[in-house]
Structure 1
């Protein structure tokens, strides 16, 4: 008697379809490791936005991040940015959809945006990358 694999209950996608899917996925997201590598290398071709509350930002945020709570993202709050500005957004972590909400708003305003998966939780607690604490709430 053969046991049906839970993994293969649904057949894997054709390699061309899978390649398209994963390429598209990477155009929407990045991770803490890539962002930190860019920071260390001095790559500054995007703005890193912490979209949590100002209070959460003040307690701890990724180095170089700017505070912009997702509820405050509007055409007016982004008016000073050229349309070719790229944003990378993050919130608390996998259990939070604040970064997704922010990315939706920012893209609707006509800007390129990526979500940093893992958020500050992965940045600080798992990767142990440097953070700034108890600072004024610098805003975009």
Structure 2
């Protein structure tokens, strides 16, 4: 199947927009490691936060964003939001709230589930949680670093 010029243009726009507004766990972990300036927001409820979360994230359930975000996060700071995983649209709701407030925001696809499955750093109220890398979601290179390799 060959695309018409209009279809090709639409496809380019679509995929460019996805990359502008979405990120993934590997890219967020790399941004953390590089010291990039952004805030990672866990938009899940309180019970979920206490059960486990990404180390370095702040807790801001999507219903609290309109009130708390302007006080707690400078408008010039980029935001990355996440929720449970692909079966949950809480991060989409959170991203919508942040964008309505004027923040530059990205949604972390895969959410907490894929962050944890990739063996990246997670914590709960007691401290660090160690999880093995799920070989169905992330390769295990010989040096031990997790990489998407995409």
Q: Give me the TM-score of the superposition, normalised by structure 2.
A: 0.75
Q: What's 2:143 paired with?
A: none
RMSD of aligned C-alpha atoms? 1.9
Distance 2:126 2:38 in 1: 22
Is 1:113 the counterpart of 2:105? The answer is yes
Aligned counterparts, 1:120-135, within 5 A: 120-125=112-117, 127-134=118-125
Distance 1:66 1:17, change over 3 A: same
**Aligned positions, number:** 124
- Determine helix, strand or coil for the equivalent of 1:78: helix
Q: Confirm or deny: 8 A CA contact 1:49 1:88 kept in the other structure.
A: yes
Give the unaligned 5+ runs of structure 2. Answer: 128-150
Q: What's 2:96 paired with?
A: 104
Q: What's 1:72 paired with?
A: 64
Larger radius of gyration: 1
Q: What's 1:26 paired with?
A: 19
Distance 1:124 1:107, change over 3 A: same
Q: What's 2:28 paired with?
A: 35
Q: Deviations over 1:70-121 (max 9, x none)?
A: 11111x3122233212110000000000000011111101111100000000
Distance 2:121 2:91 in 1: 20
Distance 1:93 1:26 in 2: 18
CA drift of 1:29 comes to 0.4
- Determine helix, strand or coil for the equivalent of 1:77: helix
Q: What's 1:85 paired with?
A: 77
Higher relative contact order (CA 8 A, sep 6+): 1
Distance 1:105 1:129 in 2: 27
Give the unaligned 5+ runs of structure 1. Answer: 1-7
Q: What's 2:45 paired with?
A: 53
Distance 1:24 1:123 in 2: 22
